[in-house]
Amino acid sequence: MRELFLVEADSDELGWQERALCAQTDPEAFFPEKGGSTREAKKVCQTCEVRVECLEAALGNDERFGIWGGLSERERRKLKKRAV
């Protein structure tokens, strides 16, 4: 199972993760099998107060797996391409 926390980041930068709703739910939902539903994870992200910080961390660390900031891997790739 993949860990949701960034190990190499400074502890001050990780403060948002302590407030993340995903830390209080089943982590498996955020890393579904290929072709599996992302609905449950995205529903949690919709109401999370640190969604923006989570997405920024995923983009900054080039996370290639899982739901981060309410976006799937494919959605993050599209977002990055549009930003270029």
| Feature table: binding site | 22, 45, 48, 54
SS3 labels along the chain: CCCCCCCCCCCCCCHHHHCCHHHHCCHHHHCCCCCCCCHHHHHHHHCCCCHHHHHHHHHHCCCCCCCECCECHHHHHHHHHHHC
Bind-site residues for [4Fe-4S] cluster: 22, 45, 48, 54
